[in-house]
Structure 1
Amino acid sequence: MSSVSRIKVMKLSKLLKNTWLLRKSANPASALLAVSVCASLGVSAHAADLLNVVDVALQRNLSLSSAQTNLSATEYELDISRGNFLPSLNVSANTNWNDGTTHQYNGGNANNSYNNHGVNVTLTQSLFDLGDIYSHRNTQTDIDIESLRTEQTRQQIIREAATTYFEYLKNRAQIRATQAELESSESRLTLVSRNIELGNVAGTERYEVLAQKERTADSLRTLKKDQRIILNSLANIVQQPLKPDFDLQSSIQFGAIPPSRQTELNNIMYASDLSLLIAKQAVTRSRQVLKETGAAFVPSVKGSIGYTYDDTNDASAKLYPDKGVTEETVYTLTLDVPILNGGRDYYRYQQNKVDIDRTEIDLQDSKNASQQQFEEFIYNINDFSASLTSLTTIIQANYASYIGIQKAHKLGTRTITDLLSAESKLYSSIRDYESARYDYVINLIQLNERIGNLNMATVGKIAEQMSPMSDDSSQSPIPLHLMVQ
């Protein structure tokens, strides 16, 4: 940094600090309101770094808990389908009391009362059924799909927590710059009002300064409202109030993604993008369902062994054996050959053939959507990278213009309109610069989710380039490191 630039930076920083101190001493009621607002934002909120916020979200987020629970429930379906290949054993018992009377023409009526009871045991085993085989495979595919969806939900939670974290930091930077602009406007309004009373300047100057102050105050009010919404959203994601306390370091580099790296990332996306993997599994499952439906036309074989014990204590029984006890063992081998069932299996088979076409169309649609979003993230990241270079130059130029016009205004060669316009441009360029920094990181996070590579390690690399925030109200909102020539 040249000596002239260093002096300019120090003067501007000192000027801003003095105007903020003047603002607080001149309007204590407003200062108290600002403290109250900050307190309301921080009630029951725990300060946290990026990794801590994401970790808490993964532990407590209800959507992820629901997805994991659903996966556990789906895994039982595999055990259920496996039961089709295992033998089944059924036992039944019965008892009856028989009370009968035979009416006769000759002699008295014949009464016959006795008890009848028995036991039946049946062991059944499916020997060959293609439908069961394909059904079991479909169940395994369902579990694979549910596992992918659970991981997809996990990465969505990481993305939501991380991007909301940086949305808060972006909002905070905008509030900081807008607050400084407001305090500068209020100090200028106080100074102009005093000069008008002394007759040093025209009374019309006050209206321009007042209008700019109110516009800035309105913007600041909206930004603080947005901050509350962001903190509420973050609290909903992590299921507890948390307030970010780490920010991006000023030395971080926001480089563009070169074409070679874009090609590499694109290949990674087609191999690990979860939405594509789910769509591919859906195609696999639809083909297996078609095979399962086709199995309805294939014969099946089932074997069973049944044992029956029957004891009939009928004193009038004349059938052998005279004790009324019968034991029977039955061995059964059943060949089931489907012939006709009203055409239901045929039309179900045709329906599933059409469903394969649908899932293949959905897969292609997912590929197109993923590719489109991938390119958008690449374009945005590279655009923000280039914008930050341009905005650095714009801030430096606006800063030099503001200092020059400020001096000229004191000498009476520039109007208050020129000064207000220069100040507005300076703070607008600062807000644009800060927004571009955070939007770059947000799009980088979204890109990693798109290629299926968003995890704690990815977030950790970003967290390494962050450091604790400074709440020093006397610190200049202008990124002074940009003034290095």
Structure 2
Amino acid sequence: MRTKIVTILVFVLFINANAQDKKWTLQECVSYALDHNISVKQQELSKELVQEDITMAKGNFYPSLNSSASQSWNFGSYIDNYGGRVSRDSRSNSFGLNSNVMLYNGNRNKNNLLQVQKSLETAGFDLEENKNGIMLYVVNFYLNVLLNKESLIITQDQVDISKKQVEKAKTLVEAGSQPKATLLEAEATLASNEQQLTTAQNTLDLSLLSLAQLLQVSHKGFDVQDVDLTIDSKSLVYNDTDVIYETAVSNLPEIKSAEIAVERSGIAIEIAKGAYYPSLSFGAGIGTSYQHNQGDKDVRPIIDSNNNVVYVPNGFGKQLEDNLGYNFGFSLNIPIFNRFQTKSSVAKAQINQEIATLQLQDKQVKLRETIEKANADAKAALNQYISAQKSLLAQNESFKNAQVSYDSGVMTSFDFDQVRNRQVNAQSSLANAKYNFVFRTKLLEYYLGIPIVLE
């Protein structure tokens, strides 16, 4: 038993260790977010509601069928089934079956169906737009984590260098070749670098927390897969904003949704105009009834062959059979004057169509502006990256020379720290420019319909 418990504990620890060691790829993050995001699930349910609206709109083409039944009690006089007045308490039943179908109502049923079908298309594009937005959030958060990881490495390297400086300063002070102030300055620099390291670690932890919360997973042990991103001056291959715009305006769900909104508004005009036309419906029914005088038997008088009045049974089943009746008919409704309600409805529908058209144009204009800005940002980020790359090369050489000068005692620790800070700033600028450029490039790829991957 003890061995079995130990085995179970080892297995659980192994599972937990594996769960903590898992590093999420960008594709895994995107897929998980789309599968578990609450807003996505809500929109999927909204789409199902629209699907039910389609079922209801189709039902308007079918005839209705309703049955009825009643039970009533009469006290005092009443007219019986045979036209005679009876002064007795009684009870009665009635049963009916009725059907009605709309034959024509200005094509409103047809246009209502077309409108809800367009609504279903809109719901699908809105869902896709929401998913795309979540995907871009995930990409941005993921790249932010990678940037913070790289920043942490840069800061850790500075701490390592500062530790070596402190050890060397101790040796020089103990040998009497440097004053104690040299050691104090080195220790102060190390303390500052360690504080920066703590800040960098906190920044990384917060970015991982933000990504985990976006995915709606536990942040404990959460980490992402490291990606070695490299770019060069040829990385900006998506440079023609007109091509990008034409592709995006043809494929993006938000544009398609706005286009369908214009179509729906046109259908709404036809629905409103349908009230100008007459409507024609057909109805049919079947009904029967039963009456009973309280305290009497169910009988009815008849004249026999000898001209005598005799009473014959007239029970529940007999009355239902004898009283069975059928009906059918057409109903025509011709609108003549309805206080300008239809005219106003048509005018409002036309105004809504103009609004929908302007909203489509607004989205198209904003899309072009967004693409042009994203392209300009990508160019600027690439130029910043190239400049930062050149600056880092120069700062690395300067740092090497400063290291030699500092080791030989020619340069003070203060001057050496100034050179090293410039190198750190160049490393940070390069990292920021790189990830900024990568995100802007991926954004352009999104507008071109290219799947977003990191490589």
TM range (shorter): 0.7 to 0.9
Highest RCO, 1 vs 2 (Cα 8 Å, sep ≥ 6): 1
Structure 2 residue corresponding to 1:47, chosen from 23, 33, 47: 23
Query: More displaced, 368-377 or 113-122?
Result: 113-122
Counterpart of 1:225 in structure 2 is 202
The 3-state SS of whatever aligns with 1:331 is strand
Counterpart of 1:182 in structure 2 is 159
Q: Is the CA contact 2:258–2:359 (under 8 Å) kept in the aligned structure 1?
A: yes
Counterpart of 1:11 in structure 2 is none
Q: Output the amino acid matched with 2:115.
A: N
Counterpart of 1:10 in structure 2 is none
The answer to whether the aligner puts 1:329 opposite 2:326 as a matched pair is yes
Superposed displacement of residue 212, structure 1: 4.3
CA deviations on 1:173-220 (whole Å, 9 max, x unpaired) are: 001101111232243244335544654335555565455444433433
The answer to whether the aligner puts 1:442 opposite 2:442 as a matched pair is no
CA deviations on 1:56-110 (whole Å, 9 max, x unpaired) are: 22332323222222222221111011111111101111232334369xxxxxxx8
The answer to whether the aligner puts 1:394 opposite 2:387 as a matched pair is no
Superposed displacement of residue 404, structure 1: 1.0
Superposed displacement of residue 413, structure 1: 3.7
Counterpart of 2:60 in structure 1 is 84
| Runs of 5+ consecutive residues of structure 2 not aligned to the other structure | 1-17, 79-85, 303-311
Whole-Å Cα distance in 1 between the matches of residues 274 and 77 of structure 2? 55
Whole-Å Cα distance in 1 between the matches of residues 178 and 128 of structure 2? 67
The answer to whether the aligner puts 1:303 opposite 2:300 as a matched pair is no
Q: Output the amino acid matched with 2:63.
A: P
Counterpart of 1:27 in structure 2 is none
Spell out the pairing of 1:20-31 with structure 2 (5 A cutoff).
Answer: none
The answer to whether the aligner puts 1:384 opposite 2:381 as a matched pair is yes
Counterpart of 2:371 in structure 1 is 374
- Percent identity, aligned pairs only, is 16
Alignment RMSD: 3.1
Superposed displacement of residue 343, structure 1: 3.5
Structure 2 residue corresponding to 1:285, chosen from 261, 264, 267: 264
Whole-Å Cα distance in 1 between the matches of residues 380 and 292 of structure 2? 96
Instruction: Indicate how the Cα distance of structure 1 residues 431 and 341 shifts in structure 2: closer, same or farther if over 3 A, else same.
Output: same
Q: Is the CA contact 1:257–1:382 (under 8 Å) kept in the aligned structure 2?
A: no
Whole-Å Cα distance in 1 between the matches of residues 341 and 117 of structure 2? 26
Whole-Å Cα distance in 1 between the matches of residues 162 and 169 of structure 2? 10
The 3-state SS of whatever aligns with 2:323 is strand
Query: More displaced, 117-126 or 251-260?
Result: 251-260
CA deviations on 1:352-374 (whole Å, 9 max, x unpaired) are: 32222222222222112211111
Q: Is the CA contact 1:48–1:246 (under 8 Å) kept in the aligned structure 2?
A: no
The 3-state SS of whatever aligns with 2:223 is strand
Superposed displacement of residue 226, structure 1: 2.0
Counterpart of 1:167 in structure 2 is 144
TM-score normalised by L of structure 1: 0.75
The 3-state SS of whatever aligns with 1:48 is coil
| Paired residue total | 409
Spell out the pairing of 1:36-75 with structure 2 (5 A cutoff).
Answer: 44=20, 46-75=22-51
CA deviations on 1:368-427 (whole Å, 9 max, x unpaired) are: 221111112212222233333322222111111111122223344433333112111112
| Runs of 5+ consecutive residues of structure 1 not aligned to the other structure | 1-41, 103-109, 466-485
Counterpart of 2:15 in structure 1 is none
Counterpart of 1:25 in structure 2 is none
Whole-Å Cα distance in 2 between the matches of residues 43 and 221 of structure 1? 26
Counterpart of 1:274 in structure 2 is 253
Spell out the pairing of 1:70-149 with structure 2 (5 A cutoff).
Answer: 70-100=46-76, 112-129=88-105, 130-149=107-126
Query: More displaced, 183-192 or 262-271?
Result: 183-192
Superposed displacement of residue 171, structure 1: 0.6
Counterpart of 1:483 in structure 2 is none
TM-score normalised by L of structure 2: 0.80
Whole-Å Cα distance in 2 between the matches of residues 207 and 368 of structure 1? 61
Q: Is the CA contact 1:307–1:329 (under 8 Å) kept in the aligned structure 2?
A: yes
Whole-Å Cα distance in 1 between the matches of residues 117 and 77 of structure 2? 62
Spell out the pairing of 1:184-263 with structure 2 (5 A cutoff).
Answer: 184-192=161-169, 195-196=172-173, 198-202=175-179, 205=182, 209=186, 212-241=189-218, 242-250=222-230, 255-257=235-237, 259-260=239-240, 262-263=241-242
Instruction: Indicate how the Cα distance of structure 1 residues 406 and 144 shifts in structure 2: closer, same or farther if over 3 A, else same.
Output: same
Counterpart of 2:81 in structure 1 is none
The answer to whether the aligner puts 1:312 opposite 2:291 as a matched pair is yes
Rg bigger for which structure?
Answer: 2
